[in-house]
Amino acid sequence: MLWREHPGTYLQTHLAETRDEVALVTSLFPERRGILDIYDHHGLLGPRAILGHGIWLTDAEGKRLREAGAVLAHCPTSNLFLHIPGNKC
């Protein structure tokens, strides 16, 4: 993986922004335990991994995120909008 081939670099992507995203991604990888497990399985967790939003993570996924040394980055206004119940975003 490119990120692992270049120590000292950062990885930035988005994660669990909407319920629809979580449902779609987990349906594509039914053998994994959840959306964070998919990222973890593919080597996308670790120090210098910055994941946007993370609104729809479970408590266990939050714990694993911390164990891996990855962090969440978010915009409070955006996260509030994405988290509104019934929002189709």
β-pair type (11-15, 71-73): unpaired
Report the pLDDT value the prediction gives residue 72, as an integer from 0 to 100.
Answer: 94
| Number of other residues whose CB lies within 10 A of the CB of residue 44 | 18
The confidence band for 10, taking pLDDT boundaries of 50, 70 and 90, is: very high
For the stretch 24-52, pLDDT in tens is 999 999 999 999 999 999 999 999 999 99
Q: Which residue has the higher pLDDT, 87 or 65?
A: 65
pTM above 0.85, yes or no: no
Query: Is residue 73 helix, strand or coil?
Result: strand
Q: Answer whether 71's CB lies under 8 Å from 50's CB.
A: yes
Cβ–Cβ under 8 Å, residues 15 and 39: yes
CB atoms within 10 A of CB 17: 19
